[in-house]
Amino acid sequence: MGKNIQSLFRGMRVSDFFFLWVLFANLLLVAYLGIGNYQNGAKVATSQDNGEEIVAWFSSLAAKLEANEPIEPAACKPVDEENKFTKDVKVNHWKNCVEALFAAKGPFESYSNLLHPDGPAYSSKCNKKDLVTSGSFIFEKLTINPAGPPGISPMEPGEKLISGLNIRLSLCDTGYYLVKIGEFKL
Amino acid sequence: MSLQSLSLGSLNLRIRKRVFNLFFNHRIKKNYCDQFEHFITYMIVLNMAGLVLEHIPVIYETREHLFHIFDVFSLVVFSVEYALRLYVAPEDPAFSSAKYPRLAYCKSPFALIDLASILPFYLGAFFDADLRVLRALRLLRLFKLFRALAPAVNEFLELNKDKSYRYKIYALVNETPTSGNLHHIFDMFIVTWVILSVLAVIFESVHSINYYLHSEFIILDGIAVAIFSTEYLMRIYSSPEDPKYKGWLLGRLRSASRPTSIIDLLAILPFYLEAVLHHLFDLRFLRVFRLMRLLKLARYSGATQSLFIVIKREWPVMKAAVFIMLLLVMLAACLGYLFEHEAQPDKFENIPQAIYWSVVTLASVGYGDISPITPAGRAITIVLALLGIGIFAIPAAILSSALSDQLRIERESMMTELYTMLEDGVISADEQELIEAEAKRLHLSQGELTRLLEKAKVEMGVDHAHEKDAKGGKPGKANTGEMSLEFLSKHPELAAEQLKITISKLQQIVSVSDRQELSKFVENPDNVTALQSSLLKLLLQHDGDKSKNKG
């Protein structure tokens, strides 16, 4: 076997060596690009885990409200459907809530955009034209449609936080596809 | 007592020989040797897949017991394999000449690998061992694959020892007379990776799977691209070895523009383009193009090649059928637009929309989203639907009849090959292998192959010739070219002739051999029996006398 293996490389020409170099260089390139892809994949997986934490936090809101426990940040406290037009009741808006969540000392302070550290941690749309939206969390409002699939629209900054509001959390991945993480109800 | 032990010993010998012949003897064709080796290979591959899957928590945690059962099963299979190999070692020509064949087997590299892949688990039962170490040791099972790979590599290097490095690569990636078994292993490897990567692309689109296995899919894709790009480079680099693609640049360019090469390129291109250009263009659609890898399998299917030949051959007729179809579609669309536009301006808004309606109607699909409501429109629809059945059936009928024609042509060419092979009245082992390979390509069953062989023999008069020879007192030959003992027992004069020929052959062998080496070999009583020794000595002596006389 050893002798035979030696005979494999005997009488090699310059072109053969060049071919081997090309082969090796290609493997290096694939490894380099593959490692880059894998690192991005790992970041997406970490962001997914973070997203699950966010969904769990929002899902626990209803229980806290029922138990009359204080909600921190207060900007995320939803109001009841029947009180939303009452003058003395302060209605929170989505912009304030999400900013408070990701702000310093907020529960998700450490959750940043892992794919684009300079990009926003959350955004309203996964936008191919806005490269830095890749890696950000996307919150979408779900409007229940009894006749078919729910209607989906971006969570506008001025959206009022009303109890029972259905929200879907997704992640904008490397290819600008939405990776659905979970849904929750305020 | 001694009689009983003697019979037990002979029974043991018989069983050992039978087991060896059944599962390990490569020289016997119709045994279970290949099946047994394939089974072991699949078990090794499954073990490796299991090892990878165990590191994916979402798969492993809920199915831990299944993994454990499979592990125990694998251990039993590999242990039985090791025990059987050890048991039949005295029958194995590789070890039978050793003083202690079983010990010789135990010391062989493959046996050591086999042992290393099972022993740690038995030791683990008695000693406290880190389970992670035991799991890692399962990787040793991968080395068991060398049992299949090493002989193929040796055979390949032996067959190509005088060839250039580029030719060796050509022989590895293409079927050539010197490709041997290594080429088949290479093909199998590529096919396996094609299937794996296509499955990965399909499952990647399932959100619930991709959510948990995203990183694993990335690794799989990276490995697949590394393999396919290496294969692509090997094919392009070695293509000038093909007489059709001579020339270091033009030949390679011509080879690269072949449909199969383009498919190979499309299978890897999305990876590079997406990685390099994703900031500049929206290349998400390229991900789906990875499914083009499935087309790589076309290279390995004779049926696909037959289909391509058929389409190429029948293209003029197909073109005529397609032309009539297009004519009808356009005519029906124009009439549909003419009659229905006023009644349903939203549905028959323009002629392209009417074309959509006419194609759906002609092809008998009939989605129903656009349907005529005017009497004239409905009348056209009736005619169109009836015509559609016939018109759309024409290309299908052309293709199916041409395909069966192609199969007939291929079978006829196989028959011609059979006639050529039977010209000498004998089908050698090599010819038999060629026939079997061709029959496999044409998807012929063993029964059909035997029938074709019989037909060819009858038409060539081979069987009759044998009968005639026997009647006329001429020596009858079996398929192998040897005279049957039964035939010789009935014809003593022929038996004497045969003996004379055999003795002449022996004399020839002795005269061209090294006499000293032969004498040394004959002197050793372990090598030959007493009769063989006397005969050989006589031949050597006769040869020696002849040389002296000449001198």
Q: What is the pLDDT of residues B358-405, one digit of tens each?
A: 999 988 888 888 999 999 999 988 988 888 888 878 888 888 888 888
Mean pLDDT of all residues in A137-165 = 86
Distance from CA of B456 to the nearest CA of A (A): 42
Q: Which of B165-179, B312-326, B445-459 has the lowest mean pLDDT?
A: B445-459
Burial of B180 (0-12, 13-18, 19+ CB in 10 A): buried
Nearest-by-CA chain A residue for B274? A175
What pLDDT, in 10s, does the model give residues B299-319? 777 777 778 888 888 888 888
For chain A, list the strands marked E by DSSP. Answer: 122-123, 137-143, 151-154, 166-172, 178-185
B219 touches chain A (CB under 8 A): yes
| Bridge partners of residue B318, in order along the sequence | none
Mean pLDDT of the residues in chain A: 85
Nearest-by-CA chain A residue for B158? A4
Q: Rounded to whole angstroms, how far apart are CA atoms B433 and B455?
A: 19
Distance from CA of B258 to the nearest CA of A (A): 21
- Tell me the residue type at B545: D
Token pair in block for residue A180: 């659905």
Contact criterion met (CB < 8 Å) for A9 and B154: no
| Cα separations in angstroms, B206 against B57, B217, B399 | 18, 12, 36
Q: Which of A60-69, B212-221, B421-430, B514-523 has the lowest mean pLDDT?
A: B421-430
Supply the pLDDT for residue B378: 92
Token pair in block for residue B326: 């297009």
A175 touches chain B (CB under 8 A): yes
Q: Rounded to whole angstroms, how far apart are CA atoms B302 and B144?
A: 32
pLDDT bracket for residue A84 (50, 70, 90): low
Contact criterion met (CB < 8 Å) for B229 and A30: yes
Nearby residues of B85 by Cβ (< 8 Å), 6 or more positions away: B24, B105, B111, B114
**Percentage, residues of chain A above pLDDT 90:** 28
B290 touches chain A (CB under 8 A): no
Nearest-by-CA chain B residue for A170? B211
Q: Which of A3-12, B146-155, B540-549 has the lowest mean pLDDT?
A: A3-12
Contact criterion met (CB < 8 Å) for B271 and A27: no
Nearest-by-CA chain B residue for A27? B226
Supply the pLDDT for residue B476: 44
Contacts of A15 in chain B (CB under 8 A): 166, 248
Supply the pLDDT for residue B55: 77
Contact criterion met (CB < 8 Å) for A4 and B275: no
**Percentage, residues of chain B above pLDDT 70:** 90
Mean pLDDT of all residues in B348-364 = 91
Contact criterion met (CB < 8 Å) for B222 and A11: no
Contact criterion met (CB < 8 Å) for B226 and A34: yes
Contact criterion met (CB < 8 Å) for B233 and A42: no
What pLDDT, in 10s, does the model give residues B69-116? 988 898 899 899 999 999 998 888 888 888 888 999 988 888 888 888
Please check the confidence at residue B2 and state whether its pLDDT lies above 60: no
- Listed by number, the residues of chain A in 12-71 with a beta carbon closer than 8 Å to a beta carbon of chain B are 12-13, 15-16, 19, 22-23, 26-27, 29-31, 33-34, 36-38, 41-42, 44-45, 48
CA atoms within a 13 Å half-sphere pointing along the CA-CB vector of B34: 6
Please check the confidence at residue B480 and state whether its pLDDT lies above 60: no
For B219-348, list the strands marked E by DSSP. Answer: none
Contact criterion met (CB < 8 Å) for B165 and A12: yes
Token pair in block for residue B297: 């399998």
pLDDT bracket for residue A75 (50, 70, 90): confident
For B135-180, list the strands marked E by DSSP. Answer: none
pTM comes to 0.70
Please check the confidence at residue A9 and state whether its pLDDT lies above 80: no
Contacts of B150 in chain A (CB under 8 A): 1
Mean pLDDT of the residues in chain B: 82
- Listed by number, the residues of chain B in 399-458 with a beta carbon closer than 8 Å to a beta carbon of chain A are none
